[in-house]
Amino acid sequence: MKSLTNKAVRAIALSSIGLLVACSTPAANDVALPAEPSSADSDAAMVARIEQIRERHGLPALGVLVQSNDHVRLLAVTGVRKEGEPEPATPADMWHIGSNTKAMTATLVATFVSDGSVGFDTRVVELFPELSSQLSAGADSITVEQVLRHQAGFAANPFNSLDEYMAAIGDAGDVGEQRRRVLERALTQPLLFPPGSDTSYSNTGFIVAGAIAERLGGSSWESLLQQRVLVPLGIVHAGFGAPGTSASLDQPWGHRPVSGGLIPVAPDDQEHQNPPLFGPAGSVHLSLSDWALFATEHVAGRRGLGKLLDQGSYERLHTAPGGESGIAMGFGALVEQGETTMLAHNGSDGNWFAELRIYLETDTTYLLVTNDGREDGEARLAFAEVRAALNERYEPFPN
């Protein structure tokens, strides 16, 4: 039996690979809500404990799903959709998952690899030959895989100010053209390091990945993600940006931190949300049950039972550089004795916070969501307490 010390070491190692955060975009393309799930095991004591954690940290709402071997063992949502309003959050509600979107974008690109449209080792400039005469030093060698592994040498974000954003995007009204301009900017500006020589977490890189998908698929990243990833997995209760409408509390609202508390952020409040071009780096919203379908695909895919990709593709997506613990394609990966044993990521746009952990040795998934944007404060502390409680109850580490 592995000791508690080993479990603590695992937790420390996982945190060191970077439970990574990012972005959101305004809402679009929602479909009808699912029926309220009823398959989860009854666990009143755990639900009560989650509610106590939520109250202690002052989160408006807190949602948790635990799944093992494709069976939902816990689905608990507590709190309210909007601070100061009585409307309760429900298990059928949808949540902005921020940079957890990156795993979906990486999976989307991998579907093009699977059908032979591109290779992981294809150089990006081969897909955008019109830029070949403008490339910065080293940019001609950047591969698709390096983009997805945060090894391309791109800056963390494409713009440092509103003026820079406006100058770069200019009159490009179409979001696909905006992403292509981000790609052009990334390839023609000096890189942070020679491609493949280092790793630096980059939202820019996943906007580039979205532009790559759009070039390959001839459609928007949003449409391609729905057509090639979400719908084939049965995920039809999803959209982009903040869920719901500003006219009613039909979904939870995000809350941004301010001195002394939280301020609700309406779904159409574009001032406090990232623009749509950031979508591939972090804009998806969906229900906990639908997010679990995506996690299930990655677990099944490692056994050769995936719907979208073959076993080797999933293993490649889940492998960090050098086969060690680190950043894989859309996930953080914990590696022990040469095997990836956990996948993890988190995400926030400053208004929401969400976290995924997949314990591959026991096929156990944790999904945690809140409409509280304090990812460096109370929301993160609450998640840590919830995980500790879940570990006691569900024992995701093998004996």
Write down all domains in the chain, each with its CATH number in brackets: 4-101+237-394 (3.40.710.10), 105-222 (3.40.710.10)
Give every CB contact of residue 191 below 8 A, 6+ residues apart in sequence: 136, 137, 138, 139, 152, 153, 154
| DSSP, res 228 | I
Phi, psi dihedral angles at 267 (to 5 degrees):
-55, -30
- Rounded to two decimals, what is the model's pTM? 0.90
The answer to whether 73 and 79 have CB atoms below 8 angstroms apart is no
Nearest to 202 by CA among 263, 155, 264: 155
Q: Helix, strand, or coil here: 397?
A: coil
Both tokens of 340, joined, read 């990836």
The answer to whether 43 and 337 have CB atoms below 8 angstroms apart is no
Q: Helix, strand, or coil here: 399?
A: coil
Per-residue pLDDT of the chain (399 residues; tens, 9 = 90+): 323 233 333 433 343 333 343 443 333 333 333 334 333 445 899 999 999 999 999 999 999 999 998 899 999 999 999 999 999 999 999 999 999 999 999 999 999 999 999 999 999 999 999 999 999 999 999 999 999 999 999 999 999 887 888 888 878 789 999 999 999 999 999 999 999 999 999 999 999 999 999 999 999 999 999 999 999 999 988 999 999 999 999 999 999 999 979 999 999 998 999 999 999 999 999 999 999 999 999 999 999 999 999 999 999 999 998 889 999 999 999 999 888 999 999 999 999 999 999 999 999 999 999 999 999 999 999 999 999 999 999 999 887
Distances (CA, A) of 103 to 83, 270, 348: 30, 25, 14
**Encoded amino acid at 378, one letter:** E
Both tokens of 86, joined, read 């009585």
